[in-house]
Amino acid sequence: MKAILLTGPKSPLSIQEIDTPEPGPDEVLISLKAASVNHRDLWIWQGDYGNISYPCVLGSDGAGVVVKAGSEANQGWVDQEVLINPSLNWGHQRAGHSSNFQILGVPSQGTFAEFISAPVSNVYKLPDGYDFIKSAALPLAGLTAHRALFYRGDLKANNTILITGIGGGVSSFLLNFAVRAGARVYVSSSSNEKIKKAVELGAINGINYKDDNWADQLKEFEPAGIDLIIDSAGGPHFLPLIDLLKPGGKIVNFGRTAGNIPEMAPSRLFYKHASILGTTMGSPADFESMLEFVEEYNMRPVIDRVFDWKETDKAFNYLRSSAQFGKVILRIC
């Protein structure tokens, strides 16, 4: 089969021939039609990720058609249009993943390929009204956003929420989910154009975090404070987020794009009765809840651009530019 092969850090991404996988007894073989590009793929391409072995096939999100089952018991999946939950071997506890947990695509073969063999337990039928392109946008970003908001953040209708760094795939899902859940949503970005787009999609307002007084601007918007902040950056802007919380408020973090969080006085935390919660990906229960939410609210992902998979280098460069608002998709031919 053909696959996009990464042969070393920052090497050109090219279509090459590799062996077609054979599904095991609890797996099915999927002919992939679309995949999405995540920042995880970009970090692996840059060599900024653990447990990388070259050559490798990137890609955590994929949708396609089941063409073969590894056992008679799973023959009913053949010819079904499906998407893949990229959380592999999560385990039995929803609170956190097992020691065997992996994300689809490095160290296992990813979705930038004509075929992939996936566990039946991680395969789901496409949501109503979804094609392959929309479905490929959904798994990693939708799962991460839904768990951060509803399981870790315990979001309620009429809560006031801040989403930092609007524009990426996960943040666009956060905005979509939170608005439909009845929350009052603010966003931050370094781009006024992205803030404007977020307001068009339902945010109340936003602030540019490059402004020196960005935290004061948010305090003017919400003098009583914020119930829930979803942060994907960390870095020096993290500590002012605590001051923006209402007493008893929460910060849920799932990323480190701005680097490490500076030291702080513990009183900054305990006088706020604040909770700082970490999350990454999600459990099977989180994935199924996310799919139910998408169907209940007839929600569609925000897709910025679709590239042919022969243009994967262009897709990566576009993601590196941070120009996107929403998901970047590869159409696999």
256 pLDDT tier (thresholds 50, 70, 90): confident
Domains of the chain: 2-138+301-331 (3.90.180.10), 144-278 (3.40.50.720)
277 pLDDT tier (thresholds 50, 70, 90): very high
- pLDDT at 333 (0 to 100): 78
Q: What is the pLDDT of residues 1-55, one digit of tens each?
A: 999 999 999 999 989 999 999 999 999 999 999 999 999 999 999 998 878 889 9
Q: What is the pLDDT of residues 84-125, one digit of tens each?
A: 999 999 999 999 999 999 999 999 999 999 999 999 999 999
- CB-neighbour burial class of residue 73 (10 A; exposed 0-12, middle 13-18, buried 19+): exposed
Average pLDDT, rounded, for the chain: 96
Residue 215 near residue 240, CB atoms below 8 Å:
yes
Measure the CA–CA gap between 71 and 67, rounded to whole angstroms. Answer: 13
DSSP 260: P
- pLDDT at 49 (0 to 100): 85
User: How far are the Cα atoms of 15, 39, 307 from residue 130, in angstroms, in the given order?
Assistant: 27, 23, 18
Q: What is the pLDDT of residues 204-236, one digit of tens each?
A: 999 999 999 999 999 999 999 999 999 999 989
Q: What is the pLDDT of residues 181-212, one digit of tens each?
A: 999 999 999 999 999 999 999 999 999 999 99
Residue 224 near residue 214, CB atoms below 8 Å:
no
What percentage of the chain exceeds 90 in pLDDT? 93
Residue 208 near residue 189, CB atoms below 8 Å:
yes
- pLDDT at 257 (0 to 100): 82
Residue 96 near residue 296, CB atoms below 8 Å:
no
